[in-house]
Chains A and B, each alone.
Chain A
Amino acid sequence: QSVLTQPPSVSAAPGQKVTISCSGSSSNIGNNYVSWYQQLPGTAPKLLIYENNKRPSGIPDRFSGSKSGTSATLGITGLQTGDEADYYCGTWDSSLSAGWVFGGGTKLTVL
């Protein structure tokens, strides 16, 4: 059971938009930055979004992030088949069991 809750799967057609949620608490998302990672099949995770809504160099603006309270959201517009991947949110948890935590991951299927 992950500290951060993500839907197991989402799907949408090519060209459409999809959002992936990440729900936490005041000890993690509520008081720390959220980052998002894309993991294509058989590869290592790749940083997509940092500090809630910023994109590293080379990440297209089709990918966006937002945070409100204890939840964060990853948005992907203009879906492409190449976007099919697992997506993970991550942040620091400042509770008694302090440490870096990841969501359980969301499998995106582009129909």
Chain B
Amino acid sequence: QLQLQESGPGLVKPSETLSLTCTVSGGSISSSSYYWGWIRQPPGKGLEWIGSIYYSGSTYYNPSLKSRVTISVDTSKNQFSLKLSSVTAADTAVYYCARHDGDIDAFDIWGQGTMVTVSS
């Protein structure tokens, strides 16, 4: 059973860079038809797609965050990562990693999420 697990600091200072990693277990990140994405949810609010990556390294980013986002993949570790620069309090959220199955065009497997707070 494929599982995703987010990891990274739970507290980031304003203006610094938020860094998270998603570890994929129970399957290969290099499988075709799958993209790997980051989605966030501010406290009490809805879901916001941040971006997605294919195992080859091709990326798609939310235009509203594109200038601050970098998503990368490490196939040797079966991981993909998120970097969000120049963070502010507005970036405080639960960050989820998820698998996007291109065959069904949906996010079918999600990690449990990790809370990141931006505060000095």
Contact = CB atoms under 8 A, between A and B. Distances in A.
A90 B62 CA distance: 14
Nearest to A106: B46
Given A44-B96, A44-B111, A45-B96, A102 B106 contact: no
B39 to A, nearest CB: 8
B111 A102 contact: no
B46 A88 contact: yes
A99 B61 contact: yes
A33 interface: yes
A18 interface: no
A102 B49 contact: yes
Interface residues of A, number: 26
B46 to A, nearest CB: 4
Given A99-B60, A99-B61, A100-B37, A45 B47 contact: yes
Of A32, A45, A100, most buried by chain B (CB within 10 Å of CB) is: A100
Contacts of A37: 47, 107
A80 B105 CA distance: 28
Interface in B26-66: 37, 39, 46-49, 52, 60-64
24 contacts: A33-B104, A33-B105, A33-B106, A35-B105, A44-B110, A45-B47, A45-B96, A47-B106, A47-B108, A50-B106, A51-B104, A56-B108, A88-B47, A90-B49, A90-B106, A99-B60, A100-B49, A101-B49, A102-B39, A102-B47, A102-B49, A103-B46, A104-B46, A105-B46
Interface pairs A-B: 3 shortest CB-CB: A35-B106, A50-B106, A100-B49
Interface of B: 37, 39, 46-49, 52, 60-64, 96, 100, 104-108, 110-113
